[in-house]
């Protein structure tokens, strides 16, 4: 659009935190994935310092599969009506404070999704100290665990 060209492209495989589908309950597997990503980042630093053009990921999704998945994700899965909160909620407000699109407001000390769509980053679900937020019927998201940076990096920020 502005006549700029992409000079380099790099991919780093990270744990997928969309626990509606992906399972993060095996913390050792997640740690290994993060260790591998750190190695790739160190390699990337060298490539960037040498002004290399980049490399492609070993695994790619066929374009038509990506289009179908995006249509499904945008059309149904990004709807906040898919998110619910259980009685385990303690009203800590982390979900509302950290929502990047301000889709959550606290009402009567419980989160209420006030927008029809959100980015579905699941930050609300992952940050909930009581795992009270879930997607759909909760079976997958409750079983698949939570991911926060500090859980794996040992940091104190939320």
Which pair of structure tokens corresponds to residue 2?
Answer: 């502005």
CATH number of 27-153: 3.30.70.20
Q: Are 20 and 145 in contact (CB under 8 A)?
A: no
Cβ distance 127 to 97 under 8 Å? no
Q: Hey, where are the domains in the chain?
A: 27-153
- Looking up tokens 């997928």 gives 16
pLDDT in tens, 74-132: 666 778 999 999 999 999 999 999 999 999 999 999 999 999 989 999 999 999 999 99
Structure tokens at 28: 């050792």
21-72 residue pLDDT tens: 899 999 999 999 999 999 999 998 998 899 887 665 555 666 766 677 776 6
pTM of the model: 0.74
């Amino acid at each position: 659009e502005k006549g700029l060209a992409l000079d380099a492209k790099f991919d780093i495989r990270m744990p997928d935190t969309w626990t509606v589908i992906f399972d993060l309950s095996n913390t050792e597997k997640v740690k290994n994935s993060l260790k591998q990503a750190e190695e790739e980042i160190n390699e990337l630093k060298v490539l960037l310092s040498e002004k290399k053009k980049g490399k492609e990921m070993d695994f790619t999704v066929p374009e038509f599969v990506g289009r179908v998945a995006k249509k499904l994700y945008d059309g149904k899965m990004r709807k906040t009506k898919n998110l619910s909160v259980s009685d385990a909620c303690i009203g800590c407000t982390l979900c509302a404070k950290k929502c990047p699109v301000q889709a959550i407001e606290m009402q009567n000390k419980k989160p209420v999704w006030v927008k029809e769509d959100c980015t579905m980053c699941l930050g609300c679900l992952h940050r909930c100290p009581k795992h009270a937020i879930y997607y759909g019927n909760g079976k997958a998201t409750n079983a698949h665990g939570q991911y926060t940076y500090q859980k794996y990096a040992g940091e104190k920020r939320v």
